[in-house]
Amino acid sequence: MHELGITRNIVAIVLEEAKGRKVKRVTLEVGKLSAIIPQSIHFCFDICCKQTLLEGAILEIIETQGIGKCLQCKTETSLAQPYGKCSYCGSFELEIIQGQELKIKEMEL
């Protein structure tokens, strides 16, 4: 489960940015094409936060949709996987423009 390592890194970054202050809430933005399972991040978050200034913090995860831009006709298409075809012209030449992100969007102290 690679989410444990990812969550450890998220906790470390938030603790560094908190500069010794108690953290109440963390909001993440996770793309649906990122191969990260939000439920696993939630599970790991509580474990990784034990005995830190993040213990008891609320984790909010916002999932972003996958969107690709057709390299042929420039139309944007929704994607459920990191591949697909243009809904307008049928081309398989798509550039992913959204859905692969993993961002710490905000934290509440």
Question: Is 48 labelled a binding residue?
Answer: no
Question: Is 70 labelled a binding residue?
Answer: yes
Structure tokens at 104: 């710490």
Question: Is 49 labelled a binding residue?
Answer: no
Question: Is 89 labelled a binding residue?
Answer: yes
Q: How far apart are CA 65 and CA 58, in angstroms?
A: 23
Do the beta carbons of residue 63 and residue 100 sit within 8 Å? no
3-state secondary structure of 84: coil
Q: Which residues define the annotated binding site for Zn(2+)? A: 70, 73, 86, 89
Q: Which residues define the annotated binding site for Ni(2+)? A: 2
Q: Which residues define the annotated binding site? A: 2, 70, 73, 86, 89
